[in-house]
């Protein structure tokens, strides 16, 4: 039984069908990179998994339990955490206060304030600083740390490198690498294909709301992924 299972998931924005019959599974310790052009449905799919966007069809289960009709706070309590695009921090609260808010999910585990500071040491000196005064990289680290404070089984990361300088992105991905040994399952939305392929164990490419290519990162070529990205179907396997 998969940790996270999506079967024929569908989601709409009014008359627009943004996610069309997506079926995916994720095991403990896996990192799935979700790639695709802007408007492909990646963010909507993450929000649907987290409960921030209502399903119009299909099912989502976590550890065999159907969570598709549960609100976002209930899914957080069961082990799904989302780091949203744009970070969505409380700018007039400190880093520590933003992190502590996540404990309302009520889950126990290894991730506490000290653990977050160990993963993101750049936050140590900013612990009492207002989130609105942080740099982009510090804000992203705080947003990821806040999600981790719920002690999730599944972590959803939406565009973690967006708007950040390359050196900051490099540091951030180095810090995320430390999470791989924790057994955490991760779905990562990333526009940088090279970085996505390096970070993930599996790749799924979305086009117009559908998964058009999916496989293990080591078995998919960059060329095959780019063909799927632009709607040119291929088998996608490396020679």
Residues 6+ positions from 37 with CB-CB distance below 8 Å:
207, 229, 230
Q: The CATH number of the domain where 21 resides is what?
A: 3.40.50.300
Residue 68 DSSP class: T
Q: How much of the chain is in helix, strand and coil states, percent to nearest 5?
A: 35, 30, 35
Residues 6+ positions from 233 with CB-CB distance below 8 Å:
212, 227
Domain count, the chain: 1
pTM reported for the whole predicted model = 0.90
Q: Provide the pLDDT for residue 233.
A: 56
Q: Provide the pLDDT for residue 35.
A: 95
Whether 54 maps to a domain, the answer reads yes
Whether 235 maps to a domain, the answer reads no
Whether 236 maps to a domain, the answer reads no
How far is Cα 118 from Cα 198, in angstroms, rounded to an integer? 23
What residue numbers bound the domain in which 96 lies? 4-229
Whether 234 maps to a domain, the answer reads no
Q: Provide the pLDDT for residue 235.
A: 46
Q: Provide the pLDDT for residue 104.
A: 78
Phi and psi, residue 236, nearest 5°? 85, -5
pLDDT in tens, the chain (239 residues): 789 999 999 999 999 999 999 999 999 999 999 999 999 999 999 999 999 999 999 999 999 999 999 999 999 999 999 998 878 899 999 999 999 998 877 788 889 999 999 999 999 999 999 999 999 999 999 999 999 999 999 999 998 888 788 888 888 888 888 787 788 999 999 888 888 888 999 999 999 999 999 999 989 999 999 999 998 755 444 43
Whether 219 maps to a domain, the answer reads yes
Whether 174 maps to a domain, the answer reads yes
- What is the edge-to-edge ordering of all strands in the sheet holding 210-216? 80-83, 154-158, 185-189, 31-35, 202-207, 210-216
Count of Cβ atoms closer than 10 Å to residue 66 Cβ = 12
As given in the structure block, the two tokens for residue 225 are: 């992924």
Q: Provide the pLDDT for residue 166.
A: 87
Alpha-carbon torsion, ordered 49, 53, 58, 62, to 10 deg:
30
Q: Provide the pLDDT for residue 183.
A: 85
How far is Cα 88 from Cα 175, in angstroms, rounded to an integer? 20
Q: Provide the pLDDT for residue 223.
A: 92
Q: Provide the pLDDT for residue 169.
A: 86
């Amino acid at each position: 039984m998969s940790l996270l299972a999506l079967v024929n998931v569908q989601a709409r924005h009014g008359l627009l069908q943004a996610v069309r019959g997506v079926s995916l599974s994720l095991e403990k310790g896996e990192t799935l990179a979700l790639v695709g052009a802007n408007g492909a449905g990646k963010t909507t799919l993450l929000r649907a998994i987290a409960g921030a966007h209502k399903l119009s069809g299909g099912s989502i289960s976590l550890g065999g339990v159907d969570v598709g009709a549960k609100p976002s706070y209930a899914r957080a309590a069961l082990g799904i955490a989302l780091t949203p695009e744009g970070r969505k921090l409380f700018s007039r609260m400190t880093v520590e206060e933003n992190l502590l808010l996540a404990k309302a999910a009520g889950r126990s585990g290894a991730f506490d304030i000290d653990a977050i500071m160990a993963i993101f040491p750049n936050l140590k000196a900013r612990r009492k600083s207002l989130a609105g005064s942080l740099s982009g990289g510090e804000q992203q680290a705080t947003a990821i740390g806040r999600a981790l404070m719920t002690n999730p089984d599944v972590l959803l990361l939406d565009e973690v490198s967006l708007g950040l300088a390359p050196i900051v992105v490099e540091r951030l991905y180095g810090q995320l690498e430390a999470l791989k040994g924790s057994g955490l399952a991760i779905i990562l939305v990333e526009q940088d294909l090279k970085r996505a392929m390096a970070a993930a164990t599996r790749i799924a490419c979305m086009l117009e709301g559908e998964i058009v290519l999916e496989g293990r990162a080591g078995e998919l070529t960059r060329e095959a992924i780019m063909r799927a990205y632009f709607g040119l179907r291929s088998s996608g396997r490396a020679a």
